[in-house]
Copies of this chain bind each other. A is one copy, B any other.
Amino acid sequence: MTCARVLFQCCTSAQLLVEHGCSDKVNIGKGLIVYIAFLNECPDSKLSKIADTICSVKLVANDDGILQSVVDYPCDLLIVPQYCLGGKLKGKCFQYHGALDKQKSETLYSSLVALCKSKLEESEKWSGSPTKFYYGTYGIRQILSTATSGPFFHFVDF
């Protein structure tokens, strides 16, 4: 049973509002945006695999066109909580019965962000570079703009 749905998008730049009620925006340059929704009863034990995938999936094309991971490139990473990805179309509307409840989902989201941060910082290549890691604030409206050299959407059900 799917317990997390992840959408990857490569970007040349992105800007995200990270706090509610103020104008704090973060910017990344070339890198990977990761949108995530938790579903059903996602166990904590899945988080390490998801974090591994986020940091190691080869999706970002370097100057030679070779696909590399966030850690190996190294490049920027932006994680965005995205509840809507858990929706299912019924008739003309989406329903969200499979979505994990807000509190559990927020806890998992925080743990996932911490795991990714730690994996990135473990890498000398990533942490020794002027790379950025940002993440959205759970529960607020994720006001986002992106620029891409192709939408480059990839999708994984965990």
- Number of A residues with CB within 8 Å of any CB on chain B: 35
Chain B residues contacting A57 (CB-CB under 8 Å) are 89, 92-94
Residues in A109-158 with C-beta less than 8 Å from chain B: 141-156
A105 within 8 A of B: no
Which of A56, A84, A85, A151 has the most CB atoms of chain B within a 10 A radius of its CB? A151
Q: Which residues of A contact B (CB under 8 A)?
A: 5, 7, 35, 53, 56-59, 67, 69, 80, 82, 84-85, 87, 89, 92-94, 141-156
Please state the number of chain copies in the assembly.
Answer: 2
Chain B residues contacting A35 (CB-CB under 8 Å) are 151, 153
Closest 7 pairs (CB-CB, A-B): A145-B147, A141-B150, A89-B156, A142-B150, A58-B92, A144-B148, A56-B92
